[in-house]
């Protein structure tokens, strides 16, 4: 298993934000992390990335993450934060190349393999036309794709992405999910937090649902995205397609549509 979490508990001050979360992710799968605002999705991803002190253990390809150095962890796991920060007007290609830092020795120039990984990531995210543009001058959606390409170029067995689809137009949302499927096809394991239930149901192999810091559902989309689970976790009524997939949330639970 590329990533396994055992009894992850996170407390911030007196408040328990995540309670006893355990799961293991298989290689070659896209796993969606769902839950209402404040359920603990970002906290869970940050704990898995080693950014937050937590109880319980995170295993990366059989090694305890807590025992790895930051550099060793960076070769096994890439994490795309929700907050999109690009501090300097760097060319797009240079931002994506930052994803290759963990594999490079101090002072070394990017190798042919580094350039190949960057080119591949940029092609996947449809960025070739923007290669030399300053990333800070791009639209929000374009910046999101640039930062995603950075995480993809890191070429790690595990990719954690915190709401990468937020702020993307529908075409680029679908394109992004296709990229995640492609990564899974290369044998990588992707854990992605999402708010769009239809997108999650359509493109993920498996869904984890968090509510109030606890894991309330875990399974295949068809099993998780039922009217009852959606009502319990999100407090909304959803409309479904004829074959049972979520179409869209349409009303608050307990009120008529």
Partner 1 sequence: MSRALNPLLAVLVLVLFVVSLLVGPAHLGIMESLRGFMAGGSEATAIILRDIRLPRALLGLLTGASLGLSGAVLQGLLRNPLADPGLIGVSATASLGAVVVFYSGLAGLSTLLLPLGALLGGAVAVVILLAVAGRGNSTLTLILAGVALSSLAGALISLALNLSRNPFAAYEISFWLLGSLKDRSMAHVYMVAPLMLAGFGLMALAARALDALSLGEEAAHSLGVDLKRLRLLVIGGVALATGAATAVTGMIGFIGLVVPHLVRPFTRGLPSAVLLPSALGGAALLLAADSFTRLVTTNVELNVGVVTALIGAPFFFWLVFRTEGEAA
Q: What residues line the site for partner 1 (CB under 8 A)?
A: 46, 49-51, 69-75, 77-81, 83, 85-91, 94-95, 98-99, 101-102, 106, 134, 147, 150-151, 154
Nearest CB to partner 1, comparing residues 163 and 196: 163
Query: 101, 96, 79: which is closest to 145 by C-alpha?
Result: 96
**Contact in structure between 207 and 31 (CB atoms under 8 Å):** yes
| CB of residue 168 to partner 1, shortest distance in Å | 19
Nearest CB to partner 1, comparing residues 44 and 95: 95
Cα 47 to chain centroid distance, Å, stands at: 13
| CB of residue 87 to partner 1, shortest distance in Å | 4
- 60 by Cβ neighbours in 10 Å (0-12 / 13-18 / 19+) ranks as buried
| CB of residue 63 to partner 1, shortest distance in Å | 15
| Rg for the chain, CA atoms, rounded | 19
Nearest CB to partner 1, comparing residues 74 and 209: 74
Query: 158, 175, 214, 165: which is closest to 31 by C-alpha?
Result: 158
**Beta strand 30-34 with 189-193: parallel, antiparallel or unpaired?**
parallel
Nearest CB to partner 1, comparing residues 135 and 179: 135
Q: Which token pair is 123?
A: 């092609």
| CB of residue 93 to partner 1, shortest distance in Å | 9
| CB of residue 57 to partner 1, shortest distance in Å | 19
Nearest CB to partner 1, comparing residues 56 and 134: 134
């Amino acid at each position: 298993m590329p990533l396994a979490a055992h009894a992850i508990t996170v407390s911030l001050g007196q408040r328990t934000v995540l309670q006893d979360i355990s799961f293991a992710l298989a290689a070659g799968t896209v796993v969606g992390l769902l839950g209402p605002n404040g359920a603990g999705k970002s906290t869970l991803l940050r704990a898995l990335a080693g950014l937050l002190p937590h109880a319980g253990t995170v295993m990366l390809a059989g090694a305890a993450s807590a025992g790895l150095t930051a550099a060793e962890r960076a070769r096994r796991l890439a994490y795309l934060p929700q907050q999109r920060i690009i501090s300097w007007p760097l060319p797009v290609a240079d931002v994506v190349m930052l994803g290759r830092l963990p594999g490079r020795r101090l002072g070394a120039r990017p190798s042919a393999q580094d350039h190949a990984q960057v080119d591949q990531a940029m092609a996947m995210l449809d960025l070739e036309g923007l290669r030399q543009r300053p990333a800070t001058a791009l639209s929000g959606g374009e910046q999101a794709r640039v930062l995603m390409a950075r995480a993809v170029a890191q070429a790690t067995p595990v990719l954690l992405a915190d709401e990468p689809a937020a702020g993307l137009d529908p075409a680029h949302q679908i394109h992004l999910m296709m990229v995640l499927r492609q990564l899974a096809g290369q044998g990588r394991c992707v854990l992605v937090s999402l708010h769009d239930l239809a997108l999650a149901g359509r493109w993920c192999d498996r869904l984890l649902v968090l509510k109030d810091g606890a894991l309330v559902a875990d399974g295949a989309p068809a099993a998780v995205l039922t009217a009852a689970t959606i009502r319990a976790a999100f407090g909304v009524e959803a409309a479904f397609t004829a074959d049972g997939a979520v179409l869209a949330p349409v009303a608050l639970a307990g009120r008529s549509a």
